Amino acid sequence: MATRSSHNKNNSAVKRILQEAKELQNDPSHEYSAGPLENDIFEWHATLRGAPDTEFEGGLYHCRVSLPAEYPFRPPSIMLLTPNGRFELNKKICISFTNYHEELWQPAWGVRTAIIGLQGFFPHKGEAAVGVGALEYPISERKRLAALSREWYCPDCQQTNLESLPDPPAASTLPSSAPETDENIETKEAESPEIAKAETEQACPAPPDTVHTDSSTSTISAEQPASLTPTPTTKSEPATADTALRPAPATTPSPATLTFATTTRPTPTSRPRQSARPPILLDFAIISLVSIFIAILARRVL
């Protein structure tokens, strides 16, 4: 705020007051606001917010802080201007950091200290609330006055308490993380490599009952891996639902036990039939396909 030219800026009290006014202006708070009057920097007006979880919650209270000429070596005096039910109006109140207790005042304190201390004295009860200017109103009346205090108008400041100390932004207007929806959950799950792999396997078509190495020569039977018995020379029978639902073998069969059966060309009687051994990697591929097929069928049944 503008100051009168008659004030000597070389005076230690004036220097201190101007410094505090600048600090409060550069570091505003949602709990209080304060500043000197334009025509007298030793006369301050402050607005403070009622303490939360008390009957003063939501209230805005205007007060006058008068600084002595010896400030900061002598404490200020404080008077409440807004009806509140805790302190008398336009009367210097007696608390530890006012002119009633100069012996307790420390020059390191300031106007900010007095405002914060006054805010802390509001909810005091019993003997702690006794003193010059103290009032003991019913809780319901204090709540009613707290609601009315927001629109209280100060003729010196020419604005209401709510204009002097606006409410902080509501929590709902602050940025927040997006809520967990079904689409978000599905997206997170799809990003997981294991789940993506499982979905890919489920989308693949079911493997055939037999894997043909050569349609004109031979086929590998996949009806019952547990038995691994030689198949007849005719075409292998298609797998049934009962056969498909049988569990996969617990151990990997030896490639030596797998046999091949011709489908179109019978083996000459003059030559002994020779069984060809498929590669080991082909055995593992067949067993993996059968296990995946059985797992997919079991998931759909359940």
Average pLDDT, the chain: 74
**Mean pLDDT on 182-210:** 45
In this prediction the pTM is 0.56
The tokens describing 203, both together, are: 């989308």
Taking only the tens place, the pLDDT of each residue in 55-80 is: 999 999 999 999 999 999 999 999 99
CA distance 71 to 15: 10
* Structural tokens at position 254: 């030896």
Cβ-based neighbour number of residue 36 at 10 Å: 22
Q: What is the pLDDT of residue 300?
A: 78
Percentage of the chain exceeding pLDDT 70: 62
pLDDT confidence of residue 68: 94
How much is the pLDDT for 232?
46
Model confidence over 134-159: pLDDT tens digits? 999 999 999 999 999 999 999 999 99
Q: How many helices (H) and strands (E) does the chain have?
A: 8, 9
Q: Are 90 and 133 in contact (CB under 8 A)?
A: no
Among 63, 94, 154, 204, which one carries the catalytic annotation? Answer: 94
**Do the beta carbons of residue 111 and residue 19 sit within 8 Å?**
no
94 is catalytic: yes
Cα angle: 33, vertex 38, 41; to 5 degrees? 75
**Residue 149, amino acid:** S
Q: What would the pLDDT profile of 220-269 be if each residue is shown by its tens digit?
A: 333 444 444 444 444 444 444 444 445 444 444 444 444 444 444 544 45
What is the Cα–Cα distance from 62 to 32, expressed in whole angstroms?
Answer: 10
The model's confidence at residue 273, banded by pLDDT at 50, 70 and 90, is: low
pLDDT bucket at 6, cuts 50 / 70 / 90: low
- The CATH fold assigned to 12-167 is Ubiquitin Conjugating Enzyme (3.10.110)
Whether the Cβ atoms of residue 222 and residue 239 lie closer than 8 Å to each other: yes
For CATH 3.10.110.10, the residue range(s) in the chain are 12-167
Tokens of 161: 């308490």
